Amino acid sequence: MSSSAITRPLIGLTSYVERVRWGPWDKPAVLVPLTYVGAVERAGGEPVLLPSTGSARPEFVRSLDGLVVIGGNDINPETYGTERHPETTRVRERRDRSELEVLRDALDAKVPVLGICRGMQLLNVVRGGDLVQHLADSRPGDLHKRAPGVYT
């Protein structure tokens, strides 16, 4: 355990920045979909938000009992040495840099990591892999399609 005062495992959740509106505010905010938080809690963990601002200190990442790299937008292909495909959209370079740093720190410290969708792809990239940016080009007729952002 990371701390004797906390009895539940500390599980870091990566995040992302989006401009959002709530009440009278319209500002950039650090976000984690609530489904990730709830899943960690239901599994008995204590979720800890890691802002995607590059501010997560290596010693803090090393103190985690686990890390969940959440899903999201496309990874910038330059990260794995490839040119951007026309269908690759909405890359978040700051998020890529921040998550790569956190992921490297976690792996170096042997913190268990779960990558979900984009997170799994990022784990592949940090280990030296690359990605097929547009599956329809390599698997014509395959049913992999973009879906609205509603998942259960």
Helix 93-108 to helix 118-126 angle (10° resolution) is 60
Its domain, for residue 90, covers 10-138
pLDDT in tens, 86-115: 888 788 888 999 999 999 999 999 999 999
Q: Which of 99, 119, 120, 116 lies closest to 35 in space, CA to CA?
A: 116
Residue 58: pLDDT over 50: yes
Percentage of residues of the chain with pLDDT beyond 90: 62
Give the residue with greater pLDDT, 92 vs 140. Answer: 92
| Residue 99 within any structural domain of the chain | yes
Give residue 152's pLDDT band: very low, low, confident or very high (50, 70, 90): very low
| Residue 148 within any structural domain of the chain | no
Q: Which of 1, 36, 5, 31 lies closest to 17 in space, CA to CA?
A: 31
Asked whether 32 and 49 are in contact (CB, 8 A), the reply is yes
CATH number at residue 132: 3.40.50.880
> pTM of the entire structure?
0.85
Number of domains in the chain: 1
| Residue 147 within any structural domain of the chain | no
Report helix, strand or coil for 17. Answer: strand
pLDDT in tens, 2-47: 555 668 999 999 999 889 998 999 999 999 999 999 999 999 999 9
Cα 152 from chain centre: 18
Cα 107 from chain centre: 14
Write down the pLDDT at residue 57.
87
